[in-house]
Amino acid sequence: MLRNSWEVVTISLILKPITGENRDIAEALTVFPHQAGYIETVRECLKEADQLDAWRPICILDGDIPIGFAMYGRITEPANTRLWFDRFLIDRRYQGKGYAKPAIQLILKDMQVHYPNTDIYLSVYEENQQAIALYQSFGFVFTGELDSKGEKIMLHTV
């Protein structure tokens, strides 16, 4: 990524499972106040993951710098089982620096390693047009369904 005529920044993202060793670091990741209504805090997400083993919470790192958080898992619902890319955020200190697309690309690859040949679902608030455009750039399309919070469900087929 070129920031100006003399500075080149490379992004080398890695994903690490959230453990007792890095939980506090992950819980410190936040979004801007105007984005808070779109996603739960990392602490809330991790409490949910503590209660349901199906969730895989991960920290997104650029080298050794934590820049984001995601959580996914195969969740059994009343009518069916789906693989959910359920939570994704880039910390507000690192937004606008070109991390979102490579992070999602890496997460989708990780999901396919753990759950090969499985369609991926996510949900998004209709007002979150920036996220919708981002997910659409990866081939996610609306299914016409709403989740339990009224978010629109999107699908990425394999």
Cite the active site residues.
Answer: 135
User: CB neighbours of 73 closer than 8 A, spacing ≥ 6?
Assistant: 52, 54, 55, 56, 83, 84, 86
- Separation of alpha carbons 45 and 30, rounded Å: 12
